[in-house]
Amino acid sequence: MINFLHSNIQMKQIFYIAIVAGTLVQAGCTNKKNAVDPNQPNTNYKPAFTGQTRINKVKTVTPFTVERINEKLGRPWAIVPLPDGRLMVSDKSGFINIVSADGAVLKKITGLPPVDDSGQGGLLDLALDPEFATNKIIYWTFSEKYGQGNLTAVAKGELSEADGSIKNPVVIFRATPDLKSEAHYGSRLLFDKDGYLFVSAGERSILDGRKQAQWLNSGLGKVFRITKDGKPAPGNPFVNQADAKPEIYSYGHRNPQSLDINPVTGDLWEAEFGPRGGDELNLIKPGKNYGWPVITYGIEYDGRKIGDSIQQKEGMEQPVYYWDPVVSPSGMIFYTGDAIPEWKNNLFIGGLSSMQLIRLVIENNKVVGEESLLSDQKERIRDVTQLNGKLYAVSDGGILFRISKK
């Protein structure tokens, strides 16, 4: 089975799905007859409320500079600042680079468990233990060969820069069941204020996984909240529910590659890939159902409707915002720096197929403005972070960008 999904292609709208005998097969198609204009909406679906999509454009007034401070980072997926002002960058091939704030690669870290880096897989997100300054423990997600297929796994270990390795690596959590797929691993990691770890997992794109996004006894299409040892976090919404995975925090997700916590409200926000149309930004609440694949603002890649072709249903959450045409959202972060005051508490999201860094202005949990940055760079922006008032972003092309006030 070949899976070409829009989180790993340049223009997701020109790829199609054929469903034959209940099996999802995806094939590339670039001829003019079947091509879709990526700048045009894919549907005429109506938003549930004013401002849910295509909000007014805004423009940054403060002068800023964009620098390419490294153009040979290989296959980066995540970028995380270290307490001393350096950066950690994961490489899908299965190692980590320690990089200076000026872009120089200082150290290569190996010794992680083997990754399945076919398709969208590999070494994916990184997170520092809240006590990293003293224990040097890091966490990472990766696509792991498991059972008869593969899955999203979470591991931890001690970062040993002296010998360029990870000591005592151990897998602490797996988003089961395993499936034979190369796509939709999700894989974003984020610690909350109580020291528990949020983990996102995709539904693996194929029909056998898609339906499981609605199943509470499946780990596909979910956001989890776990302890540092991979156990269910206390207070999780389904801890005491029979036939439900107690690690689940929310469900009904497609391919969630974006997580961050709003610094003002403390709320968890998430962004995920829709199909052809309908990329979503969600405000995540414990125990809530975010609808995939029952409700969606997108359609199949071949143009057919999905399910009953509905966008709203009682008991299912609406996205705060959705995109059609799509942007293919990857890593995201709320800017908390003071260097560019008009960006304070704005949300920045990497765009893959859209080749941009998206800036969203959010007020009272609503998107009130949107800006496209880095679009002139023609790079698929995979992840973004902040350090000392500057934004740092990595692209699938191995570029490390630094964005700072002039």
Q: What is the CATH number of the domain that holds 234?
A: 2.120.10.30
> Please, are residues 105 and 99 in contact by the beta-carbon 8 Å criterion?
yes
Cα 65 from Cα 99, distance rounded (Å): 20
The single-letter DSSP state of residue 110 is: B
Burial letters for 63-93: b for 16+ Cβ neighbours within 10 Å, e otherwise? ebeeeebbeebebbbbbbbbeeebbbbbbbe
Tokens of 262: 């709003």
Q: Does residue 144 sit within a domain?
A: yes
Cα 315 from Cα 295, distance rounded (Å): 11
Report the domain count for the chain. 1
Res 115: pLDDT: 98
Res 97: pLDDT: 98
Neighbours of 210 (CB within 10 A): 22
Res 35: pLDDT: 54
Q: Does residue 244 sit within a domain?
A: yes
Res 36: pLDDT: 65
Cα 150 from Cα 293, distance rounded (Å): 22
Amino acid making up residue 405: K
Q: Does residue 79 sit within a domain?
A: yes
Q: Does residue 42 sit within a domain?
A: no
Question: Which of 200, 204, 202, 262 has the alpha carbon at shortest distance from 226?
Answer: 200
Predicted TM-score (pTM) above 0.75: yes
Question: Cα–Cα distances in Å, from 43 out to 140, 198, 396?
Answer: 37, 33, 28
Q: Does residue 53 sit within a domain?
A: no
Beta-carbon contacts of 215 under 8 Å, excluding residues fewer than 6 positions away, are: none
Positions marked active-site: 184
Q: Which residues span the domain enclosing 89?
A: 6-37+59-405
Q: Does residue 54 sit within a domain?
A: no
> Please, are residues 51 and 385 in contact by the beta-carbon 8 Å criterion?
no
Q: Does residue 106 sit within a domain?
A: yes
Beta-carbon contacts of 105 under 8 Å, excluding residues fewer than 6 positions away, are: 70, 73, 97, 98, 99
Res 34: pLDDT: 41
Question: Which of 159, 100, 94 has the alpha carbon at shortest distance from 133?
Answer: 159
Query: CA 93: distance to chain centroid?
Result: 18
Q: Does residue 1 sit within a domain?
A: no
Q: Which residues of the chain fall short of a pLDDT of 70?
A: 1-36
